[in-house]
Each structure stands twice: as C-alpha cells, then as structure tokens.
Amino acid sequence: MRPGSLLLDGRARFGVAVIALAILVAAGAPWLAVDPVAQGDVVATRFRPPLSTGPTGTFHLLGTDRFGRDVWARLAHGARISLTVGFLAVLLSVAIGTIIGAVAGFWRGRISVALLGLTDFALALPRVVLLLLLASLWQPSAVLVIVVLGLTGWMTIARLVHGEVRALAERPFVESAVALGVTAPRVLLRHVLPNALTPVIVAAALGVGNAIMLEAGLSFLGLGVQPPTPSWGNLIASGRDTLVNAPWVATAPGVALVLVVVAATLLGDALRDRLDPGHEPRVAGREA
C-alpha cells in the first residue's frame, strides 16, 4: 500500500491531522505554553475564563484553574504524559501479544494450547478491576500505569497474530523456506511475522485511543499519574470540584481526550478498510 493512498480517506486525514497536532503540542509544550506550575497571586489569577488576560498581562487561552494555573499550559504539558503513556502501553501490549500469538500459532501442541488457554483466561478478567487493584496496591506512577495497561491489553493482539501465523504457516513459501533448511525461529521472524502484522497495526491504532482513555480514568480516580504532574485524567479530576465556578477546567482536557480518541478510532477504521478487507467485526465494548 502506498502511504499516499491512505490519505485519500477523509477519516485517515482527520486522524493523522489530529494526532500529529497533539504530538506537536506535546513536544512543543515548553515553548508553546507558560510553565504549568507557575503561580502568582492566587486570588487575583484564579478562575479566569477562557480568552481572558490576567492581572500581569498573561493571556489565558483556556482560562485558569482554582490555583490560577493556566489551563492551556497544563493541557499541553498533560498531553506529553497522556500520549506517552498511551503509546508505550500499546507498544508493550503489541510486543507481548505478538510473541504469545506467534509462538502459539507457529508451534502446535502443548505450548499452543497452554498459551491460548492463558489468552482466553486473561480475556475473561475484568480489566478495570485488575487495573484498579494493581494501580492502587503499588505506588501509583506513570510507569506503573504503562506496565499495567500493557499487561492487561495484549490478548486481542495475541489472538489476531495467532490466527494470521497459523494460516501463513501452511502457505507454500513458508514450507519452501523450511524445506531449504531455514531454522524455525528464522522462518517465524523473517518469513511469517512480517506478513502477519497487518491486523496488528490496525489493532494498535485502535488500542492507543483506549489506552489513553484508561490512563485518564485511572488518573481521574487518583490511581494513575499523581498531581501536580498534569495528565488529562487528573486535569479532568481537578476540574470536578469547580464545575460551577469554572466549567472550562474539566471541559478542555475532556474535549482534547475525545478528539484524540476519535482520531485514533477513525485512523484505525480507515487502516483496516485499506489493509484488511475481509476483517472480522470488532468488539464494541470499551472500558472507561
């Protein structure tokens, strides 16, 4: 597939544009926005509405919160944490899922049965319950959230990879590689896996949105990234108490979150329609 042809799809254009913008904002946060923890005179600077100018002449695009902190600055800095956590968590799930799925699909027999059983079992676990437990029993941090999301999100990927690898292992080009005396791990790595990764790309695109949403959910409950470090989830949580005085504090990070998740979903949809015409319908459940 040429990369250009994907951009003919309106959904993909929207998805790429929004995600690129979010990454730009996250990367450029220190230059685009003033220091998110800078505080002046709290009483004078707090609860400034969006598009207003503070007493010292600072322009507040999205207003200020109850400590007089600039919401746009916190949103931009929060994007760094939220996006990093989302992408790394999905990367971890993809790694685990690909390894388990590939091994289970390539080597039949007891290993395969055991790994598939493990996958089914993990799929039946109530993910958020597990997240709650793990995140609250250990000291909450961004790294813990990444590990926990990664460890609870690999099952769909494992199933997809298993199906693909199993089908590919019977194809003539794989048989001929085996007949030529190529070692099994090399056949798997060089001949089978590269051809099995298409649905993984799609699942990963869709997974990023879900992971960002779950990170925000955990941080919202106080079990994820800890304030004062801003993440979109704890920004929403901090705006919860000021819904009446300053509704923009909770609204802005939520809108950003929804935009990024919609973008990831649409990009995933477009990718799937391009790469994988005979796809299986996907699970509609989502967890936050």
**What residue ranges bind other proteins (CB under 8 A)?**
121, 124-129, 132-134, 136-139, 209, 213, 216-217, 220-221, 236, 239-240, 243-244, 247, 250-251, 254, 257-258, 261-262, 265-266, 269, 281-288
* Cβ nearer to other proteins, comparing 174 with 267: 267
Task: Write down the least CB distance from residue 39 to other proteins, Å.
Answer: 25
CA pair distance 78, 134, nearest whole angstrom: 23
CA pair distance 216, 238, nearest whole angstrom: 12
Instruction: Please report, as a single letter, which amino acid is at residue 121.
Output: F
Task: Write down the least CB distance from residue 262 to other proteins, Å.
Answer: 4
Which pair of tokens denotes residue 73?
């600055």
Task: Write down the least CB distance from residue 233 to other proteins, Å.
Answer: 8
* Cβ nearer to other proteins, comparing 36 with 268: 268
Instruction: Please report, as a single letter, which amino acid is at residue 287.
Output: E
Q: Report cis status (omega within 30 of 0) of the bond before 50.
A: no
CA pair distance 54, 91, nearest whole angstrom: 41
* Cβ nearer to other proteins, comparing 146 with 213: 213
* Cβ nearer to other proteins, comparing 35 with 280: 280
* Cβ nearer to other proteins, comparing 125 with 184: 125
* Cβ nearer to other proteins, comparing 102 with 235: 235
Provide the greatest CA pair distance for the chain. Answer: 78
Task: Write down the least CB distance from residue 143 to other proteins, Å.
Answer: 16
Task: Write down the least CB distance from residue 12 to other proteins, Å.
Answer: 13
Which pair of tokens denotes residue 182?
């190529």
Helix extents (H) in 35-70: 42-45
Task: Write down the least CB distance from residue 219 to other proteins, Å.
Answer: 10
Residue 159 · residue 112 · CB < 8 Å: no
Task: Write down the least CB distance from residue 118 to other proteins, Å.
Answer: 10
CA pair distance 66, 71, nearest whole angstrom: 10
Q: In the 3-class helix/strand/coil scheme, how is 32-87 assigned residue by residue?
A: HCCCCCCCCCHHHHCCCCCCEECCCCCEECCCECCCCCEHHHHHHHHHHHHHHHHH
* Cβ nearer to other proteins, comparing 12 with 192: 12
Instruction: Please report, as a single letter, which amino acid is at residue 28.
Output: G
